[in-house]
Structure 1
Amino acid sequence: MKKFISWLKSHAGLFKTIFILSVMIIVVGELMSIGKTLSIQELSNTFSDIPIWKIALMFLIGLISVLPMIGYDVILNRMLDQKQERRYLFETSWVINTINNIAGFGGFVSIGLRSEFYGKHHQGKKVIQSLSKIFLFLMAGLSIYSLFSFFVVLFGHVNPYLQQYWIWLIGGGLYFPIVLLLTTIRKEGYVGGLDNRSKGQLILVSFLEWTGVLGSFFAIGALMGIPIDFWQITPLFIAASVIGIVSMIPGELGSFDIMMILGLSSLGIPKETIVAWILLYRLFYYIIPFIIGIVLFFKHLGGSLDQRYSGIPKQLLMEISHKLVVVFLYFSGIMVVLSATIPQAFTEFKWLQHINPLRFHIIVQFPSILLGFLLLIMGRGVAARVKRAYLPTIILISLTLIYAFIGDFSLVTCLFLLAFLVIIIFSKKELFREQLVYSWESLTVDGLIFGVLTILYIIIGVYNMPSFPHRQHRFISFFLFPSERVWFSGLLAIIAVSLFIILFVRFLQGQKHQIGEALDEARALHILETYGGNSDSQLIFLNDKQMYIYNNGEEDTVLLQFATNNNKCIVMGDPSGKKEDFSNAIEAFIHEADVWGYLPVFYEVSEETVMTLHEFGYDFIKMGEEAHVDLPNFTTSGKKMKGTRAILNRLDKEGYQFEVLQPPFSKDTMEQLKEISDEWLGSRKEKGFSLGFFSESYLQKAPIAVVKDAENQMVAFANFMPTYSNEQGTIDLMRHSPSKAPSGSMDYLFIHLFEYMKEQDIRVFNLGMAPLSNVGTSRKSFIQERIAYLVYEFGSRFYSFQGLRDYKEKYATQWVSRYTLYSRDSWVAYVMISLLIIDNAPVEPQPKLYGLKKILKRRFE
Structure 2
Amino acid sequence: MSWRSETPEDATPPDEALPPRSRPVRDWLSRNRTVLLALVTWVVFAAVAYTTYRITGDIRYKDILHALEATTWTDILIAGFFTVVSFVLLAGYDVNALRHLGKQANLVQVGMIAFSAYAIGNTVGFGPLSAGAVRYRGYSRLGLSGEQIAGVIAFVTLSFGLGLTVTTALAALVAADQVAGFAGLTPQMLRLLSAALLLALTVAAVILWRSDGWLRPHMPRPGIALGQLAITAADLMVCATVLWVLLPQDLEVSWISFVIIYAIAIGLGVLSHVPAGLGVLEAVILTTLGGSTGTDALLGSLVLYRVIYHVVPLLIAVVVVAWTEALEAFHSPRLEWAERMGTLLAPSLLGSLAVICGVMLIFSSVIPAREANLVWLAGYVPALLIEGAHFLSSLIGLVLFVAARGLTQRLDGAYWLTLGAASAAFLFTFVKALAPYEAVMLAALIGFLLLSRPLFDRPALLFSQTLTPPWIAGIATVAISAITILLFVQKDVAYSHDLWWQFEISAEAPRGLRALLGVVVLSALIAIRSLLQPSRPEPGMPDEAELQKALAIVEGQDMGEANLVRMRDKSLIFSDAGDAFLMYAVQGQSWISLFGPIGAPRAQAELIWRFIETARAKGGRPVFYQVPPSLLPLCADAGLRGLKLGERAVVDLEAMDLQSSQWAEQRQALRKGERMGLAFELLEPADLGPILDELQQVSDAWLAHHDTREKGFALGRFERDYVAEQPVAVLRAEGRIVAFATVMQTGTKAEATLDLMRFARSAPPGSMDVLLCNLLVEMKRQGFRSFNLGMAPLSGITAHQAAPFWNHLGQSVFEHGERFYNFRGLRSFKAKYRPDWQSRYLVTPGGVSPLAALVDVTLLIGGGLRGVMRK
TM interval, short-chain normalised: 0.3 to 0.5
TM-score where L is the length of structure 1 = 0.45
Higher relative contact order (CA 8 A, sep 6+): 2
TM-score where L is the length of structure 2 = 0.44
